[in-house]
Amino acid sequence: MLDLYSPGTSVLHRLPPAPKLLALMIGATVMFLNENLLLTAAAAMAVLALYLLAQLSLKQALAQLRPLVWIFAIFFVLQWVFSGLELAAYVVLRLAALILLASLVTLTTRSSDMIDTLTRALRILKPIGANPAKIGLAISLALRFIPVLAQITADVREAQKARGLERSVIAVAMPVAIRTLKMADDISDAIESRGYRP
């Protein structure tokens, strides 16, 4: 399976997935409840310190944010125009801290271990008819699907750039949608042909 796991021997790498996922949920909740810019900045610094604890470089941390620079810029400008500079800085900093925290969990946890943990945790939903194995499969496919979708998008952009169509949203979006649906259909056929019944 494709994942973002970065092999290592740090304390965070050795920690089981469950406490890391719990810490992620608590951390995200606290960051959403907090509305103070200085506390948010302190939280972001603390997350960066955790990257160092995990023996990951700050370059790796910043790499998690690089694909979202344009989104950050748009959020910042909109918030600045409508709500002021301080709120704009707070919103972008909080979003960056949340992404860094989630990425840290992903970088220090194998996706297979994470899925197994989530599947076990979801057993409490069995009485209401949920199938933990199916949910685990869906999560597994989603984790596989995200990087592949990013690659498809990059390939289509390059192809359309060669045709001078990189600025056309439709020229990029349509081939991506078609290739994505085709890939989803292929995955469905592969599962069906193996007779998988979780």
Per-residue pLDDT tens over the stretch 25-81: 898 888 888 888 899 999 999 999 999 999 988 888 888 888 778 888 888 888 888
Reference 95, options 122, 141, 64, 60; nearest CA is: 64
When pLDDT is cut at 50, 70 and 90, the band that residue 1 belongs to is very low
pTM above 0.85, yes or no: no
Q: What is the pLDDT of residues 87-108, one digit of tens each?
A: 889 989 998 998 899 888 888 9
- Burial of 105: CB neighbours in 10 Å, binned 0-12, 13-18, 19+: buried
Quote the DSSP letter at residue 194. T
| Phi, psi dihedral angles at 96 (to 5 degrees) | -65, -45
Quote the DSSP letter at residue 66. G
pLDDT at residue 84 tops 90: no
| DSSP of 93-109 | HHHHHHHHHHHHHHHTS
Question: Which contacts (CB < 8 Å, 24+ apart) does range 177-185 have?
Answer: 179/152, 180/149, 180/152, 183/145, 183/148, 183/152, 184/145
The answer to whether the CB of 137 falls within 8 A of the CB of 88 is: no
**Letter for the amino acid at 40?**
T
